[in-house]
Amino acid sequence: MTINILFAAQADRWAQYEAPLTVALNETGLAYDLRTEFAPGDVDYIVYAPNSEVQDFTPYTRLKAVMNLWAGVEGVVKNQTLTVPLTRMIDENGLTQGMVEWVTGHALRHHLEMDRHIVNPDHVWDHTPPPLSKDRPVTILGFGALGQACAAALLSLGFPVTGWSRSAHPMDGVTTHAGAEGLTQALTDAQIVVLLLPDTPATENTLNAQSLAQLPRGAVIINPGRGPLIDDAALLAALDSGQIGHATLDVFRIEPLPQDDPYWTHPKVTVTPHIASETRPDSASRVIAQNIRRNEAGEGLQHLVDRSAGY
Ligand code: NDP
pLDDT in tens, 154-178: 999 999 999 999 999 999 999 999 9
Give the pLDDT score at 109: 98
Residue 277 beta carbon below 6 angstroms from any ligand 1 atom: yes
Residue 311 in any domain: the answer is: no
Is 280 catalytic? The answer is: no
Its domain, for residue 165, covers 92-271
Mean pLDDT across the stretch 43-49?
Answer: 98
Q: What is the mean pLDDT of residues 17-34?
A: 98
Q: How many other C-beta atoms are found inside a 10 Å radius of the C-beta of residue 92?
A: 12
**71: CATH:** 3.40.50.720
What's the confidence (pLDDT) of residue 75? 96
Q: Are residues 113 and 244 in the same domain?
A: yes
Number of structural domains found in the chain: 2
Q: How far is the CA of 146 from the centre of ligand 1 (A)?
A: 7
Residues 197-251 have pLDDT tens digits of 999 999 999 999 999 999 999 999 999 999 999 999 999 999 999 999 999 999 9
130 and 75: one domain?
Answer: no
- Do 125 and 195 fall within a single domain? yes
Q: How confident is the model at residue 27 (pLDDT cuts 50, 70, 90)?
A: very high
Q: Is residue 263 part of a domain?
A: yes
140 and 223 part of one domain: yes
Quick one: 120 and 161 in the same domain?
Answer: yes
Is 19 inside any structural domain? yes
Same domain, 231 and 209: yes
**253 catalytically annotated:** no
pLDDT digits (tens, 9 = 90+) for 112-171: 999 999 999 999 999 999 999 999 999 999 999 999 999 999 999 999 999 999 999 999
Biggest distance spanned by C-alpha atoms of the chain = 72
* Same-domain check for residues 105 and 242: yes
Which has the closest alpha carbon to 280: 2, 20, 12? 20
Helix (H) or strand (E) run with residue 186 in it: helix 183-188
303 belongs to a structural domain: no
Minimal-distance CA residue to ligand 1 atom 15:
166
Adjacency order of strands within the sheet including 192-195: 175-178, 161-165, 138-141, 192-195, 219-223, 244-249, 269-271
pLDDT, one tens digit per residue, over 59-89 is: 999 999 999 999 999 999 999 999 999 999 9
The reply to whether ipTM tops 0.85 is yes
- DSSP letter at 266 equals -
Question: Active site residue: 109, 169, 274, 303, which one?
Answer: 274
The answer to whether the beta carbons of residues 184 and 195 sit under 8 Å apart is: no
Closest C-alpha to 310, from 185, 202, 225, 237: 202
Residue among 146, 206, 222, 275 to mutate when testing ligand 1 (max atoms within 8 A of CB):
146
Q: Which atom of ligand 1 is nearest to the CA of 199?
A: 34
- The whole-model pTM stands at 0.98
For the chain, helix, strand, coil in percent to 5 are 35, 20, 50
Locate the ligand 1 atom nearest the alpha carbon of residue 277 and give its number: 40
Same domain flag for 162 and 40: no
| Closest ligand 1 atom, residue 90 Cα | 26
163: helix, strand or coil: strand
Ligand 1 binding pocket includes 177 (Cβ within 6 Å) = no
Cα torsion 42, 45, 49, 55: sign: positive
Q: Find the 120 Cα to ligand 1 centroid distance in Å.
A: 37
Same domain, 167 and 204: yes
